[in-house]
Homo-oligomer: A and B are copies of this chain.
Amino acid sequence: MAPKPHSIDIVVSEVGPRDGLQSISRIMPTAAKIGWIKALAAAGLSEIEVGSFVSPKRLPQMADTGEVVRATRALAGVDILALVPNLHGAQDAIAAGAHTLTMPVSASREHSLKNIGVTPEEAVAKVAEVCALRDSLPAGARPGVEVGISTAFGCTLEGAVPEDRVLTLAVALARAGVQSIGLSDTSGYGNPAQVRRLFTRLKAEIGPLAGAGHFHNTRGQGLANVVAALEAGVTTFDASQGGLGGCPYAPGATGNIVTEDLVFMLEAMGLRTGIDIAGLVAARELVKAALPGEPLYGHIPDAGLPKGFTPAGGAT
């Protein structure tokens, strides 16, 4: 959410410490989380979603999010994001010092009710409350507020989700005061033609508020969807180191796209990410050590870089 530095073309937003870790049942120890986030920052990540301010009864993996935010918020050049479901969570996140709050809103009514217990319209109202809280703070103390609209490309419960409904929701969120509104392929249903079309429409509707592409690789289409989104002018992509939190019902299928493979693709295409691939692979080793045996995905760590490879950002 922080402005993109001039030295990079594409922001890769790491969601592993939140999205990845909350999708697995094991709990990564707090010190390991903090070490991992610091290694990601050292590799050049400029946006990291570090946890969720939700009930520790519901998601014990996220119970230490306040401590994690406090330990990482001063990392130079890194925007620390935290997910908050409501005003109470937002207050906790602000108290801990998160730079940016992300809030869950789903385009599918059934998914919304099942996932966060409210309708999409009620979710927008909660977002508006958090934006009002933000605006009540002194100028220097205001966090960013952003939303990635879930199930924007289809829903495992409802099937196809009408594109007009997604865009109506995006406009409502913009009116509520959200500063960045992205589209999330929660179900791994998206295809490149749909991604190009929907992000182009999103940009036409809300202009510079159009935010990140969040793609899953459940059906192997993750990076293909990134290529399509790049054509539509998307400049921020969520990804998870090692594809952590892979889809439990499809062995070998990652959930989120894999940060390592995404960064390789972008740098190979001549798009600067500011991220050092070797540093990223080093950070992956910390995940392996903290969660022994947990499946990690991605091709680059095994296949290595092409002979003589030069990233867009210069020698690796």
Residues of chain A touching chain B, judged by Cβ–Cβ distance below 8 Å, are: 154-160, 187-189, 191-194, 217-221, 223-224, 226-228, 231, 247, 249-253, 258, 261, 264-265, 268-270, 297-300, 302-303, 306-308
13 intermolecular pairs with C-beta atoms under 8 Å apart = A155-B307, A156-B306, A159-B308, A192-B227, A192-B269, A219-B264, A219-B306, A220-B264, A221-B264, A252-B252, A252-B299, A253-B299, A253-B302
Q: Given the complex, which residues of B lie within 8 Å of A265, measured CB to CB?
A: 191-192, 220-221, 224
- What 15 additional pairs, Cβ within 8 angstroms, besides A192-B265, A224-B265, A253-B303? A156-B306, A158-B307, A189-B306, A193-B269, A194-B269, A219-B261, A219-B303, A220-B258, A220-B300, A224-B226, A224-B227, A227-B228, A247-B303, A250-B299, A250-B302
Q: Given the complex, which residues of B lie within 8 Å of A270, measured CB to CB?
A: 193
Q: Given the complex, which residues of B lie within 8 Å of A219, measured CB to CB?
A: 261, 264, 299-300, 303, 306
In the assembled complex, the CB of A222 is this many whole angstroms from the nearest CB of chain B, namely 8
A159, A217, A307 interface centre (most CB from chain B within 10 Å): A307
A194-B247 contact in complex given A218-B303, A220-B261, C-beta closer than 8 Å: no
Q: Which of B157, B193, B247, B307 contacts A154 (CB 8 A)?
A: B307
- CB pair A154–B306 under 8 Å, yes or no, is yes
A157 to B281, CA, bound (A): 24
Q: Which residue on chain B has the smallest CB distance to residue A254?
A: B299
A104 to B156, CA, bound (A): 44
- CB pair A218–B299 under 8 Å, yes or no, is yes
Q: Which of B155, B191, B253, B307 contacts A268 (CB 8 A)?
A: B191
Q: Given the complex, which residues of B lie within 8 Å of A188, measured CB to CB?
A: 303
Q: Given the complex, which residues of B lie within 8 Å of A300, measured CB to CB?
A: 219-220
- CB pair A159–B306 under 8 Å, yes or no, is yes
- CB pair A221–B220 under 8 Å, yes or no, is no
A188 to B300, CA, bound (A): 11
Q: Which residue on chain B has the smallest CB distance to residue A303?
A: B250
A155, A157, A189, A221 interface centre (most CB from chain B within 10 Å): A221
